[in-house]
Amino acid sequence: MSAKVLVVDDKQMMRDSIGITLQRAGFTAVAAHDGETALKLMARHRPAAVVTDLKMPAMDGLELLDRIRRVDDQAPVVLMTAYGNIETAVSAMKRGAFDFIQKPFEGGQLVMTVKRAVEHCRLVQENAALRTNAHPLDSAPMLVGRSSVMRCVVQQVHQIARCHGTVMICGASGTGKEVVARAVHAHSPRRDNVMLCLNCAALSSSLLESELFGHEKGAFTGADQRRKGRFELADGGTLLLDEISEIPPQLQAKLLRVLQEQQFERVGSSTTMQVDVRVIATTNRDMGRAVA
């Protein structure tokens, strides 16, 4: 059975477009035109993820997020936002939102974000089921298990969390790399600050550069206003780069500079930005073999 995704937007054209994109990707889309309808559909369908616009009349995305959290504190909520609401979206991440997507976005970016949200929901449900037969690892409640291997993972999480360096998590798809990454952030000194995620395989090279580093107004066709990138928005917190092995070679030098010096320039700017961001990267590839 395909996973259900609740889409909430007051504009029918947007609901229809997102619904078609998700259905083509194998999801079942359930649509609501306002927050009250969304809450009723939440109770009826128990969706695996929610995608909602931030700015809506009556009940906006933030209020809907809070209301959803009261009835289901595990359902991943993805916010759609325009440039002017980016800071609000980052604040929403601290209040429990799973992620946000900035308009306008590509269908592939939406699908990859929803896939991560649905996978997160699946892992949370599996963990809940496992707790009836396994002992939670008290020092890392996100991780459940009895084996010596899992206890070793928890020990590594705590050791890594206390450090400030970049982290690489390797493993096959579906093994819970993002869960481990979130556990590292949750036990780190940065836990009270935001953790943002970006799937590096979901965007083209030019869009990925803009998403990571931001851009100035007029930097390229369609750049009608300044935009902050994920590094700038995650300042003081953690940035998870999913599938980092898919970053194109032309961006790797710029990324390396951020990792080494915590400095970068927005696309179209000569002004150097200084940030304090911890990067956690994940990949399902053998990186040693990939760079050999």
Which pLDDT score is estimated for 142? 59
Which pLDDT score is estimated for 5? 96
Distance between CA atoms of 45 and 4, rounded to whole angstroms? 8
The CATH 3.40.50.300 domain(s) of the chain lie at: 136-290
Element (H, E) at 14: helix 12-24
Report the largest interatomic distance among the alpha carbons of the chain, rounded to a whole angstrom.
Answer: 57
Which pLDDT score is estimated for 138? 44
Which pLDDT score is estimated for 288? 74
Which pLDDT score is estimated for 83? 62
CATH topology of domain 4-122: Rossmann fold (3.40.50)
Domain 136-290: state its class: alpha beta
Distance between CA atoms of 264 and 213, rounded to whole angstroms? 7
**Regions of the chain short of the pLDDT cut 50:** 130-139, 141
Contact predicate 196/78, CB 8 Å = no
The CATH 3.40.50.2300 domain(s) of the chain lie at: 4-122
Cα torsion angle, 251, 188, 117, 115, sign: positive
Distant-in-sequence, close-in-space partners of 121: CB < 8 Å, separation ≥ 6: 3, 48, 49, 74, 75, 76
Q: Please give, one letter per residue, the 3-state secondary structure of 250-262.
A: HHHHHHHHHHHHC
Contact predicate 92/79, CB 8 Å = yes
Which pLDDT score is estimated for 31? 96
Distant-in-sequence, close-in-space partners of 184: CB < 8 Å, separation ≥ 6: 157, 160, 161, 167, 238, 280
| Three-class SS state of 7 | strand
